[in-house]
Amino acid sequence: MKGMTIIVRKVTQFIAPIIFLFGLYIVFYGHLTPGGGFAGGVIMASAFILQILANGEILDKLRQEESGLEFLESGAILGFLIIAGLGLIISSSFVFFSNFINKGIVGKLLSAGMIPLENIIVGTEVCAAITTIFIALVVFKDEVAL
Amino acid sequence: MNAWIPLYVVIPLASAFIMAILGRLVKNMGKVILLIELLFLTCLTLVFILNSKGTLSYNVGGFPDVGDIPIAIYMVMDGLTKLLLLIISAVGFITALFSISYTREYTAERKFYILFSLMIAGMNGMVISGDIFNIYVFLEIAAISSYILVAFGVEKHQLEASFKYQVLGCLASLLILLAIGFIYWGTGTLNIADISRQLPYSANFIKFVSLLFLVGFGLKAAIFPFHSWLPDAHSSAPSPISAMLSGVLIKAIGLYVIFRLFFNMFALNADIAMTILVLGTLSMIIGGLMAIGQWDMKRLLAYSSISQMGYVVMAVGIGMTIMVKDGSKTIAAFAFLGALLHLLNHSVFKSLLFLNAGAVEYSTGIRDMRKLGGLAEKMPITSKTSLIASLSISGIPPFNGFFSKLIIILAAVRAHYYWLAFLAVAVSVVTISYFMKFQKYIFYNKPGEYDNQIKEVPAPMSIAMVILALLCLMLSLMVIPSIRDQFIFPAVNVLIKNLQYSTAVLG
């Protein structure tokens, strides 16, 4: 797929990192402020999608990225299951999804036990999944157009 | 034992994503993991059935109840759940064994096993969840993976069937979600046991919500007026998947939830009981009559599924109408026994028949019965196992289908529904007739015109079919009282003692 004009590309170069950073903020503060893993993940994915739209990509490279993202996606879900399953193994009463880490003080960044960890994993998963869906649509469109 | 309950969801989900990662590096990883996973779950379910009595409930996240309001998600393991879990994992294991050679022709073989495992996770989650919204979430996991699996061969008719299935499936999910929304609005809780305590609400409200649920899950279970997607979807899917869809999926995501909601969540209601009875009878008759005219062998089997599920729904309807009228509990229990036994038996012989059809298609590449014929000598194992399955589904002693149909018919007679007993016998004759057609045109007629030399299918496929054929014989033992009390009766008790569910779960 073709890229856009130099104006769009330059502006994207400035904006995309900021969008990504904002997504990270939403994910990391998920347990304190509105938002969380899903919302932050979508915002992070939009930074990647913006890059692809503005700069254009070679189809083969996109296919490679797609398979890499699939790896990340599966890994993230597996990570989530491991965190949930750790509760089953570690906690004394065998509770699935138990929050066994010290919960800290309410309102501090490092608090709420497992929840920030789970948010980070959900963010990774959603970011990878949304980008995969986008790339799949682009690849599909180019393949049909040929 | 309680700590093992979440494993029914964790193991299939985890193995699906381990397959996704490791499957790229190691060839055939998916097959090995899927087989080990399902074998383990089958053994675990057998341990649960043999060792634990009564209802086990598990509190996800370990949040204690606030007052008497349960705020954690509950997982509930009672007799009905155990029976369904046994069906899912055992039939799933045998079907996975069959898939090993069958899926070689697909380019994206790895994804087949990932989706298979996700489908198992969805069904296990639905069956084990004690929370109505989680039932919806797992329903979507199971349904979406089954949409993809139906279209797995990406040929034109498969895509079309999958699209039809998706449209009707989405409609069903929409109605179910709407009904769940209404329930939450009316009671302020999503826990099935808690809802049943709070539900005495206006009668019209309950009737409306029950109808939404009946239509939604009726679409998933393909009961008569909602059955139009089933013949397309079940006949176009790859054969192991047809076996899973017909043998397990419509029971786990359709009938099971109908039983659970209408017995344990809503109070029994004469109108709903009569609706279920009539719909069951209609699907029994119409599915049977439609099956006679089919020439596509898998389509014939798909219509036969509608008919056999009709038997189950009818028997449950008989039991429900008796319980509404405060009739004899023994007769109601007898009807439920027949229904659940037929549910178990149908999962075995219908999946066997679909695997037989898959084996025939694998060797010849033909699905039209008019072009087949004379395969009995060339494919002896397929021919003999399919004969056993046909006899069993038509209700010939000593195979398992005979006993469950006999119990259903006797229950109808004892409940004074003489017409229903007559219809059940008549449809049984119809069943024999279309399975004679199935046998004659595929295995015994004059040989069809085949391009290549026909051979018996590879060993894993034959072994899977032989195991299921043996099960067809062995499940007749379920009528022996001591075995029946261990396997089926806990499930019957859940339906008979319908009001004890909430106390058993919440204590």
pLDDT for B121 equals: 93
pLDDT for B202 equals: 79
CA quadruple A28, A31, A35, A38: dihedral, nearest 10 = 70
Query: Per-residue pLDDT tens for B221-232?
Result: 988 888 888 988
pLDDT for B146 equals: 92
Of the residues B4, B9, B11, B17, the best mutation for testing chain A's interface (the one with the most A CB atoms within 10 Å of its CB) is B17
User: To the nearest whole angstrom, how far is the Cα of B21 from the nearest Cα of chain A?
Assistant: 6
pLDDT for B335 equals: 92
Nearest chain A alpha carbon to B11: A81
pLDDT band with cut points at 50, 70 and 90 for residue B466: very high
- Output phi, psi for B50, to 5 deg: -80, -30
pLDDT band with cut points at 50, 70 and 90 for residue B426: very high
Between the alpha carbon of residue B409 and those of residues B225, B459, B476, the distances in Å are: 24, 39, 17
Query: Per-residue pLDDT tens for B6-41?
Result: 889 989 999 998 888 888 888 888 888 899 999 999
Between the alpha carbon of residue B476 and those of residues A26, B345, B386, B408, the distances in Å are: 60, 9, 17, 15
Rounded Cα distance, B123 and B143, in Å: 9
pLDDT for B392 equals: 92
Domain containing residue B322: 2-506
Q: Is the pLDDT of residue B468 over 60?
A: yes
Eight-class DSSP state of B72: S
CB of B11 within 8 Å of a chain A CB? The answer is no
Name the nearest CA neighbour of B491 among B338, B345, B348, B350: B338
Rounded Cα distance, B30 and B13, in Å: 13
CA angle B283/B287/B290 to nearest 5° reads 145
The residue that leads in pLDDT, B498 or B437, is B437
User: To the nearest whole angstrom, how far is the Cα of B359 from the nearest Cα of chain A?
Assistant: 33
pLDDT for A55 equals: 82
Average pLDDT, chain B: 89
Query: Per-residue pLDDT tens for B282-296?
Result: 999 999 999 998 889
Q: Is the pLDDT of residue B173 over 90?
A: yes
Q: Mean pLDDT across the stretch B114-129?
A: 92
Q: Is the pLDDT of residue A99 over 90?
A: no
CB contact under 8 A, A81 and B61: no
pLDDT for B370 equals: 85
CB of B58 within 8 Å of a chain A CB? The answer is yes
pLDDT band with cut points at 50, 70 and 90 for residue A145: low
pLDDT for B317 equals: 92
pLDDT for A104 equals: 78
User: To the nearest whole angstrom, how far is the Cα of B30 from the nearest Cα of chain A?
Assistant: 14
User: To the nearest whole angstrom, how far is the Cα of B75 from the nearest Cα of chain A?
Assistant: 11
Interface of A with B (CB under 8 A): 70-71, 74-75, 77-78, 81, 84-85, 87-88, 91, 93-99
pLDDT for A1 equals: 64
How many CB pairs (< 8 A) connect A and B?
45
Q: Mean pLDDT across the stretch A54-76?
A: 79
Any idea which of B4-18, B192-206, B248-262 has the lowest mean pLDDT? B192-206
Q: Mean pLDDT across the stretch B361-374?
A: 84
DSSP secondary structure string, B372-414?
A: ---HHHHSHHHHHHHHHHHHHHHT-TTSHHHHHHHHHHHHHHH
The residue that leads in pLDDT, A104 or B473, is B473
Inter-residue contact B388 to B345 (CB < 8 Å): no
Q: Which residues pair with B58 in a beta bridge?
A: B75
Please state the domain count of chain B: 1
CB contact under 8 A, B14 and A78: yes
Between the alpha carbon of residue A99 and those of residues A11, A30, B61, B63, B198, the distances in Å are: 43, 16, 7, 10, 30
pLDDT band with cut points at 50, 70 and 90 for residue B446: confident
pLDDT band with cut points at 50, 70 and 90 for residue B452: low
Nearest chain B alpha carbon to A97: B61
pLDDT for B451 equals: 66
Q: How is residue B435 written in tokens? A: 């399975």
CB contact under 8 A, B60 and A97: yes
Give the helix, strand, coil percentages of chain B, each rounded to 5: 80, 5, 15
pLDDT for A52 equals: 84
User: Which H or E run includes B118?
Assistant: helix B109-128
Any idea which of A66-80, B121-135, B205-219 has the lowest mean pLDDT? A66-80
Q: Mean pLDDT across the stretch A91-97?
A: 74
Name the nearest CA neighbour of B258 among B324, B212, B224: B212
Percent of chain B with pLDDT over 70: 99
Which of A74, A94, A97 minimises the CB distance to B3? A94
The residue that leads in pLDDT, B315 or B447, is B315
pLDDT band with cut points at 50, 70 and 90 for residue B377: confident
CB contact under 8 A, B14 and A85: yes
Any idea which of A28-32, A64-68, B303-307, B370-374 has the lowest mean pLDDT? A64-68
Report pTM.
0.91
Q: Mean pLDDT across the stretch B372-383?
A: 84
Helix (H, G, I), strand (E, B) or coil at B482: helix
Inter-residue contact B434 to B292 (CB < 8 Å): yes
Q: Is the pLDDT of residue B313 over 90?
A: yes
pLDDT band with cut points at 50, 70 and 90 for residue B354: very high
Q: Is the pLDDT of residue A31 over 80?
A: yes
Between the alpha carbon of residue B49 and those of residues A79, A107, B54, B80, the distances in Å are: 32, 47, 10, 11
- Output phi, psi for B183, to 5 deg: -60, -45
Name the nearest CA neighbour of B257 among B179, B161, B188: B179
Nearest chain A alpha carbon to B21: A71
pLDDT for B395 equals: 87
User: To the nearest whole angstrom, how far is the Cα of A74 from the nearest Cα of chain B?
Assistant: 5
User: Which H or E run includes B364?
Assistant: helix B329-364
Q: Mean pLDDT across the stretch A12-38?
A: 89
Any idea which of A52-56, A79-83, B418-422, B434-438 has the lowest mean pLDDT? A52-56
pLDDT for B502 equals: 82
Percent of chain B with pLDDT over 90: 47
Burial of residue B22, with CB atoms counted within 10 A of its CB: 0-12 exposed, 13-18 middle, 19 or more buried: middle
Q: Is the pLDDT of residue A146 over 60?
A: no
Inter-residue contact A87 to A100 (CB < 8 Å): yes
pLDDT for B342 equals: 92
